[in-house]
Amino acid sequence: MQFEMVMPKMGESITDGTVIKWLKNIGDVIEKDEIILEISTDKVDSEIPTPVSGTLVKLLAEEGETVDVGVTIALIETENIDTAMSIAEKTVVEEKVATVADDKPQTTQTVEKKTLQNKESNRFYSPVVMNIATKNNIDFAQLETIPGSGLNGRVSKKDILNYLENTKGKAAQESSTHSVSSSGPVEIIEMDHIRKSIAKHMIASKQTSAHVSLYAEVDMQNISTIRERNKEAFKKKEDFSLTYMPFIAEATILALKEYPMLNASIDGDTIVLKHFINLGIAVAVENGLIVPNLFNADTLNLRGLSRGINDLALRARTKKLKPDEISNGTFSISNFGVYGTSIGFPIINQPQVAILGVGAIKKRPVVINDAIAIRPILYLSLTIDHRLIDGAMGAQFLQRITQILEDYDPKLNV
């Protein structure tokens, strides 16, 4: 019996997904819930598990191909696993001759494609690749030399287009009188899906909001004392470290309750005031930055915030986030201080109207009661949308966060 695995629905607003990479090959025995492929939506990259156990016998979507939600992307044999390899081999053969077995009237281009496909080859070429090869006068010998990044070395659309681009570049270099090194002075790297989304989102934010930035110094001595006293017991119970971020998140939530306009958004000429707090926590991932949301963060205590922030970071870095977790945030925090940066001014995460930037905590000399002392100092920055938040309100909000952080009881047990 064959099970049809479909492109999953990753969120309410998601209608399709792009296959990034197949992690299993035809003929592989797979267990239920084992990761089988990576897909990308317009919001997040995700690893997708198989819903059944069995043997993978056919792939119906190529790497780089965008497929609608609900469309079959793979066939899994759930019975007779011992004979699944022969089924898989048969499938490969059927794919290789698929473009030949056609009784319909043939155009010249169709004949040319079939002639290419009939050549002896250990690789399968999709109709899309064959069509590009034919249009660009790439013969079979050339086609065989193109490195394939797809499953089992399969040449994808991206591979053949890169080959054509590189070929044009080499031709231009040969006709030029300038001397160029063999590696080339410029490397062209195509943006991946997430990087394109980030670029689009950031430009849209700068074009939409009137960005104004403020910053404040925070004495983190009390919180540092709390962390030092609680860190061993906390780590033993939770299996992850107690960081400064839950304290900053809690202070931000308390300040947002006092200054609700910073938790709002703008819709045309109206203000959308939200009586809940979905706190976005920016997480650096392999191919960029992602901001998953801690929903209803205002209902969580300090330990709950610690668990939620840690969970979001882990799932963001292991591609376990759901696209809906990237949407509907009301306020965001970006912690660039983890890399040692003292201060920065992040771009607002639309459609929000403000974002808090967290710098590195470093020991600095400060004046306390007319005496110089060494304290762990944090620089907090706040970027506001001046269409809604005036400088006075932004400054008051930032100072309220500062006050809450400095006033933590050093004897607090977490």
The answer to whether position 49 is within a domain reads yes
pLDDT tens digit sequence for 156-201 = 777 888 888 887 655 555 544 445 444 568 888 888 777 888 888 8
Q: Are residues 87 and 225 in the same domain?
A: no
The answer to whether position 204 is within a domain reads no
pLDDT at residue 332 greater than cutoff 90 = yes
Q: Are residues 293 and 260 in the same domain?
A: yes
Residue with more model confidence, 378 or 107? 378
Q: Which is catalytic among the residues 33, 68, 102, 390?
A: 390
Q: Which is catalytic among the residues 68, 385, 386, 407?
A: 386
Q: Are residues 237 and 166 in the same domain?
A: no
Whole-model pTM above 0.85?
A: no
Q: Are residues 379 and 295 in the same domain?
A: yes
Distance CA 411, CA 405 (A): 14
Of the residues 65, 97, 129, the one at which a domain ends: 97
pLDDT tens digit sequence for 192-246 = 777 888 888 899 999 999 999 999 999 999 999 999 999 999 999 999 999 999 9
Rama region for 370: left / alpha / beta (φ>0; ψ in -120 to 50; rest):
left
Whether 409 is catalytic: no
Q: Are residues 217 and 344 in the same domain?
A: yes
Distance CA 318, CA 345 (A): 27
Q: Are residues 136 and 251 in the same domain?
A: no
Q: Are residues 79 and 22 in the same domain?
A: yes
The answer to whether position 323 is within a domain reads yes
Is the Cβ–Cβ distance between 123 and 148 less than 8 Å?
A: yes
Q: Are residues 239 and 333 in the same domain?
A: yes
Q: Are residues 147 and 53 in the same domain?
A: no
pLDDT tens digit sequence for 272-324 = 999 999 999 999 887 788 899 999 999 999 999 999 999 999 999 888 888 78
Is the Cβ–Cβ distance between 22 and 63 less than 8 Å?
A: yes
Of the residues 120, 152, 175, the one at which a domain ends: 175
Whether 275 is catalytic: no
In 3D, which of 14, 31, 26 has the Cα closest to residue 74? 26
Q: What is the DSSP string of 179-223?
A: ---TT-S-------HHHHHHHHHHHHHHHHS-EEEEEEEEE-HHH
pLDDT tens digit sequence for 95-144 = 433 333 344 444 333 334 444 544 555 666 766 777 788 888 888 778 88
Q: Are residues 32 and 142 in the same domain?
A: no
- Residues with Cβ within 8 Å of 262's Cβ and at least 6 positions away in sequence, in order, are 255, 256, 331, 353, 354, 384, 389, 393, 394, 397
Q: Are residues 79 and 148 in the same domain?
A: no
pLDDT of residue 9: 80
Q: Are residues 306 and 263 in the same domain?
A: yes
The answer to whether position 227 is within a domain reads yes
pLDDT at residue 382 greater than cutoff 60 = yes
The answer to whether position 288 is within a domain reads yes
The answer to whether position 205 is within a domain reads no
The answer to whether position 38 is within a domain reads yes
Task: Output the domain CATH number for residue 273.
Answer: 3.30.559.10
Distance CA 168, CA 161 (A): 11
Mean of per-residue pLDDT scores for the chain = 84
The answer to whether position 196 is within a domain reads no
Domain count, the chain: 3
Of the residues 175, 192, 219, the one at which a domain ends: 175
Range of the domain at 281: 210-406
